[in-house]
Structure 1
Amino acid sequence: MAKQLNYHTIREIFTRFHAAEPEPKGELDHVNAYTLVVAVALSAQATDAGVNRATAELFKIADTPQKMLDLGLEGLTEHIKTIGLFRQKAKNVIKLSQILVDDYGGEVPNSRAALQSLPGVGRKTANVVLNMWWQQPSQAVDTHIFRLGNRSGIAPGKTVEAVERAIEDNIPADFQLHAHHWMILHGRYTCVARKPKCPACLIKDLCQFEEKTL
């Protein structure tokens, strides 16, 4: 684990991220808050590209909780069977859709506690939805962010929660809204798990990773 970088270094890192991609976007396709919740829930232990392929037709016919319930468990399962853990995920989507209809008038709540009470929705999923749909500066820490935070010194921590706190505590406020998107994209395409692309990295002179590739 690298040491925590200082404020000025972190500001420079995110200034560079911003210059390279001023408005970073999540890569899961969705059309509203509900389809975003479903897409993020389906993405656990799956790739965004794989989820997008599965939901391309699904969201054309089931873009609200009631429409998903009308499609039913078997219909949903048929659409997402190419995704890992699809049977359990299908059950969760049907259950959370029923709760949204029964308790929230078919609308997706905008509080972390309410979101996390839904089947198949953990803290990471809730944070993604809060950030992407309601523009809250919440930090969804996935494997890419956890790796980058610890390698670089941007946000070191032994647990997901510790890395999340480090991001909130150490990244300047004006970069908080897009911080997790910049970090996900950098971890997904540059600071990859095996053979990170250090020569092409725009923060290689600031990063604390001791095993930088040549």
Structure 2
Amino acid sequence: MAMGEEVELLGGWMSPFSRRVELGLKLKGINYKYNEEDLKNKSDFLLNYNPIYKKVPVFLHNGNPISESLIILEYIDEVWNSVYPFFPQQNPYERAQARFWAKYIDDKVVAAILKAAKSSKREEREKGLEETEETLEPLEKELQNKKFFGGNKIGFVDIVGTVIAYWIPAVEEAFGFEVLTTKKFPNLTKWSEEIVNQSVVKQVLPLKSNLVAYLQVVLTTN
């Protein structure tokens, strides 16, 4: 990082969106200041820098704020492009595909698992679980026998996909159901185990017991 550059992140320990930005920063070897936000009592700092959505993460580069984790990750990759690129360098189509799958994870997979977790009625939960499985099937096929979505190293989709590898199992434990099983998703379960055991990923993951306890509370009260 160049002299005089200031990098700061406003995040939440439980947020997969915040933690994925931290993972991106660590993969790049970028030094940054981290500010933990109390989302029940949002700081003026957060409200000032993200007045539209009022949520984490917010990334500050030399005082300029950027919100939304996918946008932040692309910005980081573009600014610090000489170190650990997140996207395939020589193939625009593959870069476009990576952006597609990353957005798919947030728009489809996350929405489906939240629907299942928040459902108080059995029928609604079963429908949510069915939808979650349907959203995971294309990713199972896309992954095939690759170690990571990015090939032999963690790439953009893998960074974004940590929400599947770590947060979905935490939701399963919190609410006593199973979705991401070896029988149904052998590729995704193998990938999940591989990525959460990477030393750089372990640095940003919250303690599982704390996350499970948090999810049990927040997903039944919101």
User: TM-score per shorter chain, which class?
Assistant: under 0.3
Q: TM-score, normalised by structure 2?
A: 0.26
Q: TM-score, normalised by structure 1?
A: 0.27
